[in-house]
Amino acid sequence: MTGAGGNLGKVLRTRLRPYADTLRLSDVRPLDPAGPGEEVIPCDLADARAVDALVDGVDAIVHMGGVSVERPFEEILPANIQGVYNLYESARRHGVKRVVFASSNHVTGFYRQGQVIDADAPVRPDGYYGISKAFGENLSRFYYDRYGIETVCLRIGSSFPEAQDRRMLITWLSYDDLTRLIAQSLFTPNVGHTIVYGVSANRESWWDNSRATHLGYAPQDNSEPFRAKAEAQPPLAPDDPAARYQGGAFVKAGPFES
């Protein structure tokens, strides 16, 4: 698993442990020392040789690494564009047959809230981060078509302990459901190249996962326990782009842009 030091990587470090004989963990950030059944290999995804050494000997990759929020393009480029290329090239060289790629709902963040889309809807990224995830999805499609490396792209919604606002009541993915989704993505035979939205069984959904039923992903959780607290917050103005588009605040230009 790449990105083992990130928010979701830390959560998954313990949760994915039972699914592997050895869980190899990497990040560019410092990680806790390896525990039983773990290997820790520091790695900068932009460093092709380091990625090649990281991937040598693994059966499958859960790729959580890279920049996970909107940032200037120059910061996105090394880890999310060059890095995902390095990873797939190494997977090809070492004969890795399955990748689970942490994509994001921000690949389609410029669809309107309330519109229901599925994985066949054309991408509408809401920033450089979303563009980089769309690149990873396209790259993984290419590596499947040319080299037969299977990938499940998880367009993760909002995976936090709680749904924190009105948008997250719809986009929330519990940690348990995330773990279920990754396990299904790793172990379901013949996934080919699959795109699935990573979302719990919330009351309202903008995302139709009927194109990915072969994964057998059955979310068990929903955001209802957080509704009262989320709805107690004042709503955004209706003309605020964060209230109009599925990507929420990501659709707005970052403070770093002039």
Active site residues: 129
Main-chain dihedrals φ then ψ at residue 84, nearest 5 degrees: -70, -35
Q: Which stretch binds ligand 15L (CB under 6 A): 104-112, 115-123, 195-203, 233-241?
A: 104-112
Q: Please name the residue ranges forming H helices in the chain.
A: 7-15, 48-55, 73-76, 83-94, 128-147, 166-171, 175-187, 227-231, 241-244
Residues from 68 through 87 that contact ligand 15L (CB under 6 A)? 68-69
User: Contact, 105 vs 126, CB < 8 A?
Assistant: no
* Residue range at the interface with ligand 15L (CB under 6 A); choices 17-25, 92-100, 102-110, 174-182: 102-110
**CA distances for 148 relative to 134, 172, 187, 191, 212, angstroms:** 19, 32, 16, 11, 19
Region of 25-33, 71-79, 103-111, 228-236 interacting with ligand 15L (CB under 6 A)? 103-111
Segment 34-73, which members bind ligand 15L (CB under 6 A)? 68-69
Query: Binder to ligand 15L among 90, 105, 132, 223 (CB under 6 A)?
Result: 105
237 binds ligand 15L (CB under 6 A): no
Is 208:117 a contact under the CB 8 Å cutoff? yes
**Side-chain-facing half-sphere of 230: CA atoms under 13 Å:** 16
Of 139 and 156, the one with the shorter C-beta distance to ligand 15L is 156
- Residues 136-175 close enough to bind ligand 15L by CB under 6 A: 156, 158, 171
Residue ranges binding ligand 15L (CB under 6 A): 68-69, 104-106, 156, 158, 171
